[in-house]
């Protein structure tokens, strides 16, 4: 089967880099990247600077794109935002997702183009959102897949637990059409065995044990019913096959992580990264807080947060990078520079290494602070490379 890929919300190309590191034969036939509210599209410019200009690399709001015009593809990939996935009943018009929620754009592509396989990434809180109806949002997504003839496996993965340089927890969602050879291999398999032995994620992300397995028959009238009534305690691993859900809390067999000390630049960095002033401000930002705040009048509440290591340990992987990395911000990494012994922030190259990108990948003319923003938005490339290895095996067995 041809290794054709559609890459949504492409950013600076993390999915593509990872897949192509697993096999050069992956062919991205269509890609979309659009940064809403920004006149300059730096991430897209970075993407085309590395992969070339192509009429099928699109820098437009995906909500304005006619999905029928997207080329056929066998693998759909993308890291999509965690949003409110509730739907509305609109009388004669049927059911509609909230305007601006990008999941519905993915669903439309699945409906119009019917790719055989899908690999998506999101923040792990997707499993538990919203707080008022735990599990509803992920339930809506699973119902959409189920209605379109897909089975789904998911796993929350902390990259550092599998040897990478960042403690970044993300949910990965793998779906296959129920007409594929891959599905026919697992269609009669015990659901627990799929997670532990025969499924997509366990091939590259070993697990030691699990707890609290739970099975649920996913019965519903329509997506609106799921949105209004569905609640479920999804755990960090699971599978949905033909409307039956099995989920459990799995414990990874951890690899030795890559530490900050292994990836930082040790031959000196530009002085602009050194924190020669404002150390008191940094101490306050990084310190524990127990503050009485007012929310309206006369209501008061305690705002509490724990301390963050200051400086960050070089003997551990990085914490999760955010888009605010590099700014004067509580979440920004601060290390003691091995050469100068001064405190400093990370360089853009170091943030690229934390995510597994090549050095200076984002040195493509974008503003300095946007290089940090791109890496805060990116995924850990090595995880996709490992998943690509499994996809290579799956695609080979699918044949022509």
For residue 298, say if its preceding peptide bond is cis, omega within 30 degrees of 0. Answer: yes
Residue 74: what are its φ and ψ, rounded to 5°? -100, -15
Full DSSP string of 163-177:
T-SB--EEEEEEEEE
Q: Which residues are annotated as catalytic?
A: 82
Residues in the chain, total: 400
Rounded (5°) CA angle 132-138-143:
120
Instruction: Supply the DSSP symbol for 197.
Output: I
Dihedral sign, Cα of residue 245, residue 251, residue 255, residue 261: positive
Which has the closest alpha carbon to 9: 26, 34, 30? 34
Q: Which among 131, 135, 140 is positioned nearest to 106, based on CA atoms? A: 140
* Cβ proximity of 179 and 149 under 8 Å: yes
Of 98, 88, 111, 126, residue with least CA distance to 223: 88
What is the spatial distance between Cα 31 and Cα 189, in angstroms, rounded to a whole number?
35
- Alpha-carbon separation of residue 384 from 21, 374, 379, 389 (angstroms): 9, 17, 9, 9
Quote the DSSP letter at residue 268.
Answer: -
Burial of 44 per CB tally in 10 Å (0-12, 13-18, 19+): buried
What number of other Cβ atoms are within 10 A of residue 141's Cβ? 25
Name the packing angle between helices 136-147 and 103-113 (round to 10°). 10
């Amino acid at each position: 089967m041809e290794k054709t890929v559609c890459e949504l919300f492409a950013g600076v190309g993390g999915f593509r880099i990872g897949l192509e590191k697993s096999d050069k034969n992956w062919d991205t036939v269509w890609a979309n990247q659009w940064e809403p509210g920004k006149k300059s599209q730096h991430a897209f410019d970075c993407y085309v600077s590395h992969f070339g200009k192509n009429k099928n690399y699109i820098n437009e709001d995906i909500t304005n794109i006619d999905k029928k015009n997207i080329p056929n593809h066998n693998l759909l990939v993308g890291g999509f935002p965690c949003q409110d996935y509730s739907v509305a009943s609109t009388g004669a018009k049927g059911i509609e997702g909230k305007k601006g929620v990008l999941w519905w754009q993915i669903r439309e592509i699945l409906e119009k183009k019917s790719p055989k396989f899908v690999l998506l990434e999101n923040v792990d809180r997707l499993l538990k959102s919203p707080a008022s109806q735990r599990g509803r949002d992920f339930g809506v997504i699973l119902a959409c897949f189920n209605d379109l003839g897909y089975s789904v496996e998911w796993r929350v993965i902390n990259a550092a637990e599998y040897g990478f340089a960042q403690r970044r927890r993300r949910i990965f969602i793998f779906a296959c059409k129920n007409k594929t050879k891959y599905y026919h291999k697992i269609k009669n398999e015990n659901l627990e065995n799929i997670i532990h032995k025969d499924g997509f994620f366990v091939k590259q992300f070993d697990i030691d044990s699990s707890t609290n397995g739970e099975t649920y028959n996913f019965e519903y009238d329509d997506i609106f019913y799921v949105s209004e009534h569905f609640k479920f305690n999804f755990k960090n691993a699971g599978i949905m096959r033909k409307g039956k859900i099995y989920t459990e809390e799995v414990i990874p067999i951890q690899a030795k992580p890559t530490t900050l000390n292994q990836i930082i630049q040790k031959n000196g960095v530009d002085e602009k990264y050194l924190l020669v002033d404002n150390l008191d401000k940094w101490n306050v930002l990084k310190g524990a807080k127990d503050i009485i705040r007012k929310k309206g009048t006369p209501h008061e509440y305690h705002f509490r947060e724990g301390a963050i290591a200051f400086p960050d340990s070089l003997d551990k992987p990085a914490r999760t990078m955010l888009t605010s990395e590099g700014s004067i911000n509580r979440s920004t990494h601060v290390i003691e520079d091995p050469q100068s012994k001064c405190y400093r922030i990370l360089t853009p190259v170091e943030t690229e290494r934390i995510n597994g990108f090549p050095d200076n990948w984002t040195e493509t003319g974008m503003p300095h602070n946007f290089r940090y923003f791109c890496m805060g938005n990116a995924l850990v490339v090595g995880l996709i490379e490992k998943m690509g290895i499994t996809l290579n095996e799956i695609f080979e067995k699918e044949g022509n």
